[in-house]
Each structure stands twice: as C-alpha cells, then as structure tokens.
Structure 1
Amino acid sequence: MYSALHARPEGAEERTMMFKIQKMAVVGIAAALALTGCAAGTTGSGGDEEGDTLRLGVVTPVSSFAAWQARWANESPYMQAVYDSLLTASPENEIEANLATKWEYNDDNTELTLTLRDDVTFSDGSALTAEDAAASLLGFRDGGASDSTVLASVTDATAVDATTLKITLAEPNPALLTYLTQNAGLVAPAELAGDDAAATKPVGSGPYVLDTDATVVGSSYVFTKNEDYWNPDRQHYDELVLSVYTDPTALLNAVQGKQVDVTTALDLTTVPQMEAAGYTSYPVDLNWAGFLLSDREGTVTPALGDVKVRQAINYALDRDALSDAIGGGYGTPTAQIFPTFSPSYDESLDALYAYDPEKARDLLAEAGYADGFEVTMPRGVFPAASFTLLGDQLAQVGITVNWDDVQLNDYISNLVGGKYPMSFFQLQQDPSDWQLAQFQIAPTSTWNTFHVSTPE
C-alpha cells in the first residue's frame, strides 16, 4: 500500500516520496495522435491528407490481445485498434456513447442497463450482440487481468435481448461507467471469453484488424483498416504500425531517424533532443511516479514492518533531485498521489518529509537497524541513472539495495504479485478520487500489492 495516503497526523510516518510527472507525447511534424477517436492526424510521410500509414512508437509489447486479459495504459493502443469499448470518454473525461447508445441506472444504482447498437459486426463477420458484451464483461472479471478487480462488484451481466445489456452490482460503483470506456469494457465474441487463441489472433469490432503475417511479435505490430467498420470517421489511416522501443536510447534514435510519427517519451530528459529533431512535444499531467513501500507488515522484508524504518526511507530520499533526474524538469515533487485539483489533495502533506539523511539514520537506529539492512528491488522502466540515484540515496543512510533487472511486462506482473517489498514505479492519475483509491489504495486494489489495511 502507498504509505503516502493517510491524512491523519498520527499516520504521518507512513507516507512516502513521490512526484507528479508529465506524460510527453512527442509528435512528428504535422502529425497527431489518431487512435480510436483521438484527434485526426496526417500521413506518416508528413503530407496534409489523411490515409497511408501512421507509425506509432510504443514502450511495451502487448501482453495479450485477448479482451479478457487486456491491459490498459501503455498497452491501450493495441486494444483500441482492434476492439470497441461499450462507452468512450472525451478528452475532458465526459462519458460518451460508443457501442452503447443509451445507459441508465435503477434507483439504487445496483443495476445498469445499456442499449447497444444493432449495426456492429466483428472482424470475422459475425454480429455483435448483448450476449457478447455480457460474456466479455464476465470474462474480464474472472480472467485474471491485472486490474480485473475493477469489476469485483459486478455479480452478473446478462443479455435481456440482442441489443439490451443488464449489469448487476453487489453495491454501487461510482467509476463503473469510466471502467466501461477502458479495458473492462472491451467486447469480443462470446465464444472467445476465456479462449487462449484470442491472445494472438484477436477478433474485435474495432477500426483496425491485426495483420498477423506482417507483424513481428515483440517488435512491430501492423494493423490494417477494417473496411466494414461502423464508424469510419475514426479511421484516419489505412494502416497502423506500432513499433516497440523499450530502451530510451533506441526510442531517441528512432525519433531522430524519423522512424516514427508519434510516440510517448520513455526518458523525459531526451525530450529536448527529440524537439531538436523537428518534433513537437505535448506535455500532459497524466501520471505520478513514486516510491512504493508495499510491504508495510514486513512479510518479505521484516524491517519494513517498523514504522520508523518507513519514516527513515522518506527522509532519505531527495524528491527534488529525483524529480530533476527522472522528470527532466517536467515533474513536480509531492507527497501524495492526488493531484492539486482533487478534493482529497492536502497541501500540508507535501511539507512533511524534507530531505534529511541524518534524521533517517537516527530513525533506523531507534528501530534497531543502526547498521542498516538489505532489500531487493526491481530495476527497469525508468532510465538506469534514476535507479543509481535511488540506490545512492538509500545507501547514504545504510540501506543496501540489491537490484533485479526486470523487463517492463514482467516488472508489472512481479509488482502486482507482491514479489518486491518496495519499488519505484509510475501510475496514472485517475479521473476521480474514488477510482484512484479503488485502483491504488483499497485493501483489494491492484496496486495495494500486499493488500494491507489499517483499520484504525
């Protein structure tokens, strides 16, 4: 659990270092993001007409193309290409129609009824019905996706008729409509729910179809226009090519070599070089990056079960230096995951832990760790220099980090599985505080990786 989240004064010792970080979309001259309803772009060659190919740089290969196993965030471009979601969200996070044209709750918000379009077909030619939508929802809930818990309150999903879907909840879920705009709301044929074949050969109703012959798994994924798509206004290109760059240097070289039209930046310190190559950057306050003290009960690393040790770690980390090193000048140091415009944001929390290595050493001594202790952490995702800085700061107070080098896909599954007692990672800022809490704080949430609760 994130020790940064308790606002009560007596819990101050359980917070941790973090900072807001801007997501950078670095866009080629005259090109813009164009996947599934985003702003229309231009040709990959820099012309003024739509069509041809959009070359998108992505930072991770797809884990699975199966809708019931779908991940979001960095893997959302793959899913948005081949699938439609029940609902969609505007750039202002307003819920809008998509496969569902109408939706309505009952009086106590435990039943959601959606009316679906009757003119949508899958890429195999079969009609999309409410039965497919119901099976997809239940498949995602039960399929072991990394954030399947977002549908934990769904007790059933049934097709009332071919175009009417009813979702029954054990209790009201204020974020359900938002979840239905994301991976939890993707719809595939009913018979593919739970079918491993969909992991490599997706069947969806989305604007593009995966070209398995042209795709090089793990490296480059090619999608061709779905000629029977129900909403052709969303198809700005004839072909999409998603090229994988898991290394910041490789991504920078691809940008400088004009091998991509659009990409996000793995290392924000490289953005000036990308701009110098003729690209335009569009910063968005989308994520926070922070030090996750997950093992607060000391299950894997006993030292972390002592609150004074967790306090010491907070004092040992220099948020300003880390923000500069990792955020490249685009980050804002903070002690909480809630953005400044959130009702849950508490400005006073940001002043709780000034960088103070001496105080950190004193707290470790009081906890019985005057000689420090060892801990294993994953290393990856961020530039190597970032982990060097983290390790150096912890070493200065006597904490020795043994690093495991982990690739991005394994990085996420290892963290969610509770392999590491503490880690440095980046997560999104969700549209609502309730949604953020359910994803990152609550005892059953995905990113409360040890599922720790503090009843008091």
Structure 2
Amino acid sequence: MKLGPRAAAAAIITSAALALTACGGGAQGNNPSGPKTAALSLGTVQEIRSWDPAQAHVGHILQPYQAAYDSLLLREPDGTLSPMLATAWKYNEANTKLTLDLRTGVTFSDGATFDAEAAKANLDHFKKANGPQMAQLTAVSDVAVVDADTIELNLTTPDPSLEFYLSQAAGLMGSPKALGTEAIKTEPVGSGPYVMDKAATVKDSQSVFTARQDYWNKDLQKFEKVTFKTLTDLTARTNALVSGQVDATLLDPKTGKQAEGAKMQLASNQVDWQGLLLLDRDGAKNAPLQDVRVRQAINHAFDRKTILDQVLLGQGTPTSQPFGKESGAWVEELEDKYPYDPEKAKALLKEAGHENDVVLELPSVPGWETQIAVVKQQLADVGITLNVGSAITNTFTSDVAAQKFTSMYFSLFQGEPWVAINQIVSTKALYNPFKNTTPELQAKIDAVEKGGKDAGKLAQEVNKYVVEQAWFAPLFRVNQMYYHNDKITVTPQIQQAVPSIYNYAPAS
C-alpha cells in the first residue's frame, strides 16, 4: 500500500511534536489516557448552515467540521498527507482506481461502526447531496466495498487532487445511521474528537463541543471543550480576542495592530492572491481584451509594492503569477514577470491599436473599495479606463458563470495545482466563464491530469502559459493574519486561512 509522502513517519513525528507542545504542569500536561482539561474558544467568520458532512465547505468553514468528523486522510500543517480513518492507500497504474485500507475499531458517536460500508455510504451521500464541494468527487464513478475494511474508488478519469479532497470535505465521515436525516443538520454525528453540547450551542451565536471519551486517537484531542463563536464582523472579532472572549481568530493588517498592542501573537501564512481576472480573453464582449498586448499592458501598469503597502500595510508579497508558492506549480522567474513600467504599458497599447479605447467594467467588491480605487488610478495613468459597477451579491457565482463580468477584482485560493487549474484555468473552471483555451494549453492541462506524482511540476507549464498570455493581473499574495493569545500554541495550516482543529494545543 502507498502511504502519503513519509506518511507513517510524519504521523509519528507530528504526534510526538504535538505532545511536546502541549506538555506542561498540572491539568494541561500531556495525558495519553484522556484530553486536557483546558478549554479552547475560537472566533469564526461564518455560521455553519448544516452539520451534514456532505454540506461541509473548505477554507474558513472546514475547521468546525473537524471537531465532529474525522476525515479519511489527515493533512498535516505542511500539507503532507497522513493516515486517519484510512491507514494506507494506493492507485492502480493508470491512476483510475484508488484503494483505501480502513482503520478498524472505530465507532461513531451514536455507537455505529466505521467500516467499508460506512465509508461507501458517506462517499455516495456526498456525491448525491448537492453540497458546496460536490465537485470534489466528480471524477469518482462509483465506490466498491472490497471487504470489511477496504474500499475502491473507481474514477472516470485521473484526478491528481483526489487524495487532497479526501483530507477535506469529501473525506469527512458521518454515521451511516444519521446521514440524510433532518437531525444531522443541527447536530453532527461523527467519529471525531469532540461531540456537540446541544444545551450550550446557540444557533447563529456559538457551537460548543466536548471531548469524546472513547475517541480512538487521544493525541489529536487537546482540549476538554472547544467553542466556536460566530463573529462575522471584523471589529467584533478583534474586541472578542483582545477582551479574552476567544483565544484565536482571523483579523486583517489594520485590526492586527490592535491585537499586537494587546500582546496577541500572530500565526501568519499566505493562502490567496488578489488582483484582476481578465476573463474575456477571446474578446467576446470586450474586444480589446482579445489582444495579449492589452492584457500585458494592464499587468505592467501596476506598482504592486506600492499598492500592497497602501492597502494592506505591506502584509503580503508582490507577484505576477496566480499559482502559490506551496502548490508545486510556482515558478520563481515568474514572480516579477511584469515589473511596474507605465511607459512599456503605453507602448504595448499603442502597438495593439488600443491607446485610448480600453475600458474595463468591474463589479464592486464590498470591503475592497480602497484596492479598486488604487487600481483604477494606476490604470488611468496608462490610458485605461476602469468603471466600477454594482456590488457583487449572493448571486455572484451564477453571475460569473453567466459571463456577466468580463473582468473583476477578486481574491482567489492558491491551492494544489489540479485544484487551482479547475478553479481558474480549465474550461470547467468557474473563473474561466468564457471557456477560453487553446490546443497548446489543453495539452499542458491534460499532462497534469495524467501526471500522477509529477502533477505539480507539470503544472508549472500551465502557470507559465497563463502568465505569459496574461490571463490575469495578480498583484500580491496576501498574508492571513491569524492571531491568538498566550494560553495556546497555534501552528498555521498550509493553504488555509485558519488552522486545522488539530493544530492547537494548550501552551506550556
């Protein structure tokens, strides 16, 4: 069986490291026989609408699900995949069948047994439930039970991101007795380290969990109680952290200054990039965007460092590429592919015959008015007009898919290469609504799909292509400002704005 890279060793090292991190005197010392007596309170940015694991989301919203639900694979802070409910896994030679050996002796909080039938029930339910991440299992045609602790995932086509997805929403395992019921929408039933305290949980306010006494992996169970306080307002999150109502939460560069003044500690990493999405590359609705020289001129118009300093107090890294540094598709020489050069931008526009007629129509993005205003000014300096329309709404996703926007300023996830390709580049991608492609690009995408362990390196060619063709105008990768007090230790999670629930421990 194939373990994730150094999976077994990583699992041992991580458990040992967490134990050392958590050790200390009194009740907070490491206790293999049971969880710590300490409590953890986290400020979250969004309420959970349904606790059905098939309705789980990713990013900010995955963390609360991890309290109640184990996943098939465990994603370590550095992105390494380790065993969780699946102890080993391997692909066939064609990468169209993934076989998973499952952990035995695990039960759900309602007493049901975790086994191959339960795993199949969850994966089947996920595919049918129309959840926000249902696309994670698009390539899976069916799930077959081999024996009591083995399943096979049969794929219609290779999916280099499938193992990653099995550590995310698609891999969350709920009790087969509860799947599809009304009850699981308000009370999760999983095999995870914590169970919901219904009496203390208040809808749209807080979700409270207590340590499950018979949990199979005490090394992942650091606290006796975990509370998720819903704090959608940034100021409310800041005040809650500074006043001690929560131990950790996500802030921004400006509110981070207040947190630092209160001696809060920063656990930062880069997850997203911000910039312009030049969506209509074939000029279907905005003819000048068809010319690569126009798109390149837009890229040369931006003084990325100045914009970053002005709007995010320098909290980020200027970049010209949409693929993140940890994705495997990042290419060092692309980082400054389009240096600030307004004269070159003007020359490119003149050469393309579009000196004064390039107009970009952007939707307004609440909270990013300052970014868009600076972008508008710098484009104007090279002769490009930017008009800002109405704000994006709750129909935003369908509006993008319907080609309502030919350009937009946005922030996008820099995930695993195949995840990113299917988010922003492929003809299936939401953020490629005009289905732009070329035979050359499609060949590069096909190579990634069939690349197996070489997918990341092969994705560098996709990255080079979209950067040279100026499909986007990235400005910078953004530092995620996650602050916590000195009562806990926090390890950032690669490619997540907030850490996984396993990355917290009581401080020594």
TM range (shorter): 0.7 to 0.9
Give CA-to-partner distance per residue, 1:208-246, whole Å, 9 cap, x none. 223444333334222232333222332222222212333
Distance, in Å, in 1 between the alignment partners of 2:183 and 2:386 is 46
The yes-or-no answer on 1:354 pairing with 2:376 is no
Aligned to 2:386: 399
SS at structure 1 position matched to 2:43:
strand
Aligned in 2, Cα 1:219/1:264: closer, same or farther, shift over 3 Å?
Answer: same
Shift of the 358–197 alpha-carbon distance from structure 1 to 2, 3 Å rule, reads farther
Partner of 2:164: 178
State the one-letter code of the partner of 2:439. P
Q: Residue 311 in 1 paired to residue 290 in 2? A: no
2:285, 2:235 → 1: CA distance?
Answer: 34
1:390 aligns with 2:375: yes
- Counterpart check, 1:255 vs 2:241: yes
How far apart, in 2, do the equivalents of 1:143 and 1:298 lie?
Answer: 37
Aligned length: 413
Moved more, 296-305 or 286-295: 296-305
Q: Is the CA contact (8 Å cut-off) linking 2:112 and 2:176 kept in structure 1?
A: no
Distance apart, 1:372 and its partner CA: 5.0
Q: What is the identity, as a one-letter code, of the residue corresponding to 1:442? A: S
The change in CA–CA distance for 1:39 and 1:296 in structure 2 (over 3 A counts) is farther
Deviation of residue 66 (structure 1)? 2.2
Preserved contact between residue 248 and residue 383 of structure 1 (Cα < 8 Å): no
Contact map agreement 1:147 1:446 (CA 8 A) in 2: no
Query: In the alignment, which of 417, 422, 428 is matched to residue 444 of structure 1?
Result: 428
Secondary structure of the equivalent of 1:313? helix
Is the CA contact (8 Å cut-off) linking 2:364 and 2:388 kept in structure 1?
A: no
The corresponding residue for 1:241 is 227
Residue-by-residue CA offset, 1:149-198 (whole Å, 9 max, x unaligned): 33222111122233221111223333322221111111123465566664
Change (3 A) 1:76 1:325: farther
Q: Secondary structure at the match of 2:157?
A: coil
Spell out the pairing of 1:210-225 with structure 2 (5 A cutoff): 210-225=196-211
Q: Deviations over 1:95-140 (max 9, x none)?
A: 2111112323334332222222232222222222222212322333
Change (3 A) 1:301 1:243: farther
Does 2:321 align with 1:345?
A: no
TM-score (norm 2): 0.70
Partner of 1:89: 75
Please tell me whether the aligned partners of residues 305 and 318 of structure 2 are also in contact (alpha carbons under 8 angstroms): yes
1:294 maps to a residue whose letter is L
Distance in 1, Cα, partners of 2:401 & 2:209: 30
SS at match of 2:334: helix
Whether the aligned pair in 2 keeps the contact of 1:378 and 1:406 (CA below 8 Å) is no
2:266 is matched with: 281
Contact 2:358–2:385 (8 Å) recurs in 1: yes
State TM-score, norm by structure 1.
Answer: 0.77
Do the aligned residues in 1 keep the contact of 2:40 with 2:225 (CA within 8 Å)?
A: yes
Q: Deviations over 1:245-304 (max 9, x none)?
A: 333333222222222211232x12332321221111122244333322234345666664
Name the structure 2 match of 1:115: 101
Instruction: Give the corresponding residue for 1:425.
Output: 410
- Of 289-298 and 175-184, deviating more is 289-298
- The 1:301/1:329 distance shift into structure 2, 3 A limit, reads same
Moved more, 300-309 or 223-232: 300-309
- In structure 2, relative to structure 1, the CA distance for the partners of 1:368 and 1:289 (3 Å cut) is closer
**2:256 corresponds to:** 271
CA distance in 2, matches of 1:101, 1:417: 43
Match of 1:27 in 2: none
Match of 1:19 in 2: none
Cα separation, 1, equivalents of 2:317 and 2:288: 30
For residues 242 and 228 of structure 1, what CA distance do their matches in structure 2 show? 22
Q: What SS is found at the alignment partner of 2:42?
A: strand
Question: In structure 2, how many angstroms separate the alpha carbons of the residues matched to 1:421 and 1:288?
Answer: 19
Of the three residues 197, 202, 207, the one matched with 2:193 is 207
Percent of aligned pairs with the same amino acid: 37
SS at match of 2:361: strand
Answer yes or no: is 1:230 the counterpart of 2:216. yes
Unaligned runs of 5+ in 2: 1-14, 30-35, 441-508
Partner of 1:6: none
What is the match of residue 23 of structure 1? none
1:144, 1:285 → 2: CA distance?
30
Deviates more, 1:93-102 or 1:58-67: 58-67
Within 5 Å, which residues of 2 pair with 1:30-69?
39=18, 48=28, 50-69=36-55
Q: 2:151 aligns with which of 165, 189, 195?
A: 165
Residue matched to 2:361: 375
Q: CA deviation at 1:404?
A: 0.4
Superposed CA RMSD: 3.5
**Per-residue CA shift, 1:30-88, capped at 9, x if unaligned?**
xxxxxx99957879xxx956324211122233354222222111111111111110111
**C-alpha contact (below 8 Å) 1:361/1:370 kept by paired residues:** no
- Between 1:155-164 and 1:391-400, the stretch displaced more is 391-400
Higher RCO (Cα < 8 Å, 6 or more apart): 1
Moved more, 80-89 or 358-367: 358-367
- d(CA) in 2 for partners of 1:129, 1:377: 48
**Which residue of structure 2 aligns with residue 5 of structure 1?**
none
Gaps of 5+ in 1: 1-35
Query: For 1:318-357, what per-residue CA distance to the aligned partner results, in whole angstroms no more than 9, with x for missing partners?
Result: 3212322444323111111334576643444344433345
How has the CA–CA distance of structure 1 residues 327 and 296 changed in structure 2, closer, same or farther, with 3 Å as cutoff?
same
- What is the distance in 1 between the residues matched to 2:203 and 2:407? 31
In 2, Cα distance between the equivalents of 1:357 and 1:256?
44
Alignment of 1:287-326 (within 5 A): 287-298=272-283, 304-305=289-290, 307-326=292-311
Aligned-partner residue type, residue 452 of structure 1: N
Give the residue type in structure 2 aligned to 1:402. Answer: G
- Which shifted more, 99-108 or 356-365? 356-365
In structure 2, the partner of 1:329 is 314
Instruction: Specify the SS of the correspondent of 2:439.
Output: coil
